[in-house]
């Protein structure tokens, strides 16, 4: 609750500001103003607050952080009032409007402070009432530079209502004790400090709950995804069954054969139809399935480990949400919020990496991205590649974009360039020809085609390399799971 007119009178009577010298003016927040005064051999800081529901004026002993950039109104008051002397203090019509008369270097100024909740303001005028500037510029009220400010006349009904106001109990008690030179200001400061602390804690609790709820939702989604992957990984043993079946039927595999019918070595009643790579021997095909099995088994084990860790993290976040509701320490709440947000950002980054568009390959220690459609190309360009990464495309023929992720300060080896060129060629319209020119350049040398379709770019400073389709190279790059088997 804002101060009423009786309480404002108590503050002004207690401070007796006439004769005080203005040492410094600050605006710690947009809605706050502090006047550092010197009177009767004593320094005093006057706080004026414009926040709705908290409008007030009183002496303060609190410290305020200095804003990086001084506010416009603060700079004006510093230039006009600093070094001046307060010559008058008037509570106009007992209407929660305070007029401070200030004299400085022969110039007379008036600082009007209106403590009216939603329309509170501080206005600087000259001696005749012409507005120099206002904390809140309100053209509809005429509170702009050059207008004349005049306080509203007292209304009889408003006066009668104001006379019925009572000083609140905490202020009456402060006045009656008289154990401080400024008991009224001290009581007001303590009352609002307690209120603002509770409001600050409530905001922090809401922010903590929001951040932790977001983190909890992310972990729940991750848990569901890991459970799904775990269910899919249960069938990884099928690759081993297929590989063993191939090994038992090696003598029946003809060179160049694309299919094999063989019994399940663990269940003779089941006949398997197995897809083979006709370019590989029977034993190499079996090895190919063994590699799939090992990879799938390792992925399943990793998923199980991550599933356990994610479940534990989810329980910790739920416990933190419950704890945040009870916390009274703002530092602990801020730490919880910061941790939850950082982990949320890291989780979002990990999720984006896990859902990269297109296909991914590994060439040595470098990663290749393939965008198969215009949408995937555009998504890769916007979110997943950077200026120093390499872009490749089959020259003058329709085809996908291939990107090589290049660590800072590293160059792309020739083998990786040939790998990426083969990927681009194998997924383009030039595949049937078995040979093509591949253009490449850094991503920072790409420009989007004006009014062109999604993902269309124009390369600059590009180079060209001729690539011949190499199936062995592609087989080495191919990711497990790219081919279908039964």
Residues 135 and 10 in one domain: yes
Residues 439 and 414 in one domain: yes
Residues 161 and 233 in one domain: no
Q: What is the mean predicted confidence (pLDDT) over 139-168? A: 77
pLDDT value of residue 445: 93
Q: What is the pLDDT of residues 353-387, one digit of tens each?
A: 555 788 888 888 899 999 988 888 888 998 889 99
What order of strands is seen across the sheet that includes strand 390-394? Answer: 359-363, 366-371, 401-405, 390-394, 435-442, 463-468
Rounded CA-CA distance 218/7 in Å is: 51
**Going by C-beta distance under 8 Å and a sequence separation of 6 or more, which residues neighbour residue 5?**
91, 94, 95, 96, 162, 165
Q: What is the separation, in whole angstroms, between the first and last Cα of the chain? A: 75
Residues 254 and 119 in one domain: no
Q: What is the pLDDT of residues 388-417, one digit of tens each?
A: 999 999 998 888 999 999 998 889 999 999
Does the pLDDT value for residue 343 go beyond 80? no
What tokens appear for 96 in the block?
């929660």
Rounded CA-CA distance 262/285 in Å is: 14
What residues pair up with 259 in beta bridges, in sequence order? 275
Residues 340 and 398 in one domain: no
Residues 151 and 95 in one domain: yes
Q: How many CB atoms lie within 10 A of CB 182?
A: 18
H-state helical runs in 137-281: 156-163, 169-177, 183-233, 237-248
Number of domains the chain contains = 3
pLDDT value of residue 481: 39
Q: What is the pLDDT of residues 448-483, one digit of tens each?
A: 877 777 778 999 999 999 999 998 888 888 543 344
Residues 450 and 370 in one domain: yes
More confident site: 196 or 147: 147
pLDDT value of residue 306: 80
Residues 412 and 345 in one domain: no
Residues 278 and 372 in one domain: no
Residue pointed to by tokens 């005049």: 150
Element (H, E) at 486: none
Rounded CA-CA distance 243/98 in Å is: 91
Containing domain of residue 19, as a range?
Answer: 5-167
* 16 within 8 A of 25, measured Cβ to Cβ: no
pLDDT value of residue 330: 84
Residues 400 and 264 in one domain: no
Residues 18 and 126 in one domain: yes
* 374 within 8 A of 456, measured Cβ to Cβ: yes
The rounded radius of gyration (Å) of the Cα atoms in the chain is 38
pLDDT value of residue 480: 38
pLDDT value of residue 158: 56
* 367 within 8 A of 353, measured Cβ to Cβ: no
């Amino acid at each position: 609750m804002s101060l009423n007119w009786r309480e404002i009178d108590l503050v002004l009577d207690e401070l007796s500001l006439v004769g005080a010298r203005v040492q410094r003016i600050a605006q710690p927040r947009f809605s706050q103003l502090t006047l550092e005064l010197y009177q009767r051999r004593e320094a005093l800081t006057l706080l004026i607050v414009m926040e709705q529901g908290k409008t007030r004026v009183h002496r303060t002993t609190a410290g305020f952080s200095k804003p990086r950039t001084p506010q416009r109104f603060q700079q004006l008051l510093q230039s006009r009032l600093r070094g001046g002397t307060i010559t008058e203090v008037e509570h106009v019509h007992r209407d929660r409007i305070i007029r401070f008369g200030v004299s400085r270097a022969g110039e007379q100024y008036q600082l009007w402070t209106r403590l009216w909740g939603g329309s509170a303001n501080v206005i600087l005028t000259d001696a005749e009432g012409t507005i120099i500037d206002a904390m809140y510029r309100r053209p509809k009220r005429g509170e702009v530079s050059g207008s004349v400010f005049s306080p509203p006349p007292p209304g009889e009904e408003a006066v009668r209502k104001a006379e019925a106001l009572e000083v609140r109990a905490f202020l009456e008690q402060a006045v009656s004790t008289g154990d401080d030179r400024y008991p009224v200001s001290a009581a007001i400061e303590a009352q609002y400090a307690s209120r603002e602390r509770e409001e600050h804690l409530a905001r922090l609790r809401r922010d903590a709950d929001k951040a932790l709820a977001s983190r909890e939702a992310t972990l729940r989604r991750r848990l569901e995804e890991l459970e799904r992957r775990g269910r899919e990984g249960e069938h990884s043993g099928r690759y081993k069954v297929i590989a063993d079946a191939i090994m038992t039927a090696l003598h029946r595999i003809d060179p160049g054969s694309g299919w094999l019918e063989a019994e399940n070595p663990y269940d003779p009643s089941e006949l398997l139809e197995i897809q083979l790579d006709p370019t590989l021997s029977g034993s190499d095909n079996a090895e190919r399935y063994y590699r799939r099995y090992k990879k799938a088994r390792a992925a399943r084990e990793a998923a199980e480990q991550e599933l356990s860790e994610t479940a534990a993290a989810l329980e910790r976040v739920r416990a933190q949400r419950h704890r945040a509701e009870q916390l009274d320490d703002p530092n602990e709440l801020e730490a919880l919020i910061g941790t939850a947000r950082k982990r949320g950002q890291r989780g979002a980054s990990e999720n984006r990496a896990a859902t990269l568009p297109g296909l991914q390959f590994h060439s040595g220690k470098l990663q290749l991205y393939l965008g198969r459609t215009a949408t995937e190309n555009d998504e890769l360009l916007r979110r997943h590649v950077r200026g120093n990464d390499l872009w490749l495309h089959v020259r003058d023929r329709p085809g996908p974009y291939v990107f090589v992720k290049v660590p800072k300060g590293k160059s792309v080896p020739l083998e990786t360039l040939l790998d990426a060129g083969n990927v681009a060629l194998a997924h383009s319209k030039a595949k049937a020809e078995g040979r093509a020119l591949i253009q490449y350049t850094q991503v920072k040398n790409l420009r989007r085609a004006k009014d062109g379709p999604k993902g269309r770019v124009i390369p600059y400073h590009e180079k060209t390399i001729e690539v011949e389709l190499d199936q062995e190279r592609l087989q080495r790059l191919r990711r497990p799971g790219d081919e279908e088997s039964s």
